[in-house]
Structure formats: C-alpha cells, structure tokens
Amino acid sequence: MTTLNKPANEKAQAAANTNYNEILGLGFKIEIRSQSNGKSRAYLTDNKNERIMENGVPISIDFYDNKGQSVNPVRSREGSHLDYGLKLLLEKAKKAKLTETPEPKSKKVKFKM
C-alpha cells in the first residue's frame, strides 16, 4: 500500500509559473496552438479570447513543445522552452498594456426642436 503525502501533492499542484501569473495579472490570457515538427505557438489574448494585435499581426511566440508534453503554462518548468516563451510574451504584454488606450466614448448630441 502506498501512502500519499498530501501536503507535498498540494504544493506541487499550487506551484505555478511566475511569468504566467504576471501575464494573468495584466489582464491577458494565453492560447496555445500546436504546429508541426514538435513546435507550438502561444498567442496573447484578452478576456474575450480575442488575440491581441500589434501592427495588424497577432502577438505570439513559437516554442518547442516536446511532442505535446510541454504545453501547460501553469506547470511549465523554469528554464523550459515554454518558460522562455512566456518571458517574451510577458515583455510584449507589458508593452501592449502601456500602448493600449481605451476607445473614446462618443456622446450623443440631442437636438431640441
């Protein structure tokens, strides 16, 4: 019979990538899409799951995914390909957050007759 060390298991589940947490803190999300040849692409998205664009091109980063095993940004190990990609996405997210301006609200003009 094996005994599970519950506190250790809970710690492992609670551990998360710091870059991923910072991206979430800025109000963005990550969408990961698989590609061929052992690569994947991570896109920066907003809360509505719409991709964030920069000069008409979605903000994304390519990384090696170890045949589909390294695609969970929450559990990505420090120093992995996905971790490096998340660092680059975090830098781009900070720039996008700084340049993001809210759309001006137009006021409707009421005419009295």
Give residue 100's pLDDT.
60
User: Which residue range is the domain that position 19 belongs to?
Assistant: 13-96
Distance (Å, whole) CA 24 – CA 76: 15
**Does residue 54 sit within a domain?**
yes
pTM over 0.75: no
**Does residue 8 sit within a domain?**
no
**Does residue 43 sit within a domain?**
yes
What's 51's DSSP letter? B
The DSSP element (H or E) to which 23 belongs, if any, is helix 18-25
Which phi and psi angles does 64 have, rounded to 5°? -80, 135
Over residues 42-64, the mean pLDDT reads 89
Q: What three-state secondary structure class fits 110? A: coil
User: What digits encode the pLDDT tens for the residues 29-50?
Assistant: 999 888 778 888 899 998 888 8
Q: Based on the structure, what is the number of domains in the chain? A: 1
**Does residue 80 sit within a domain?**
yes
**Structure token digits, residue 16:** 């998360």
**Does residue 34 sit within a domain?**
yes
Distance (Å, whole) CA 13 – CA 21: 14
User: What digits encode the pLDDT tens for the residues 15-31?
Assistant: 578 888 898 888 899 99
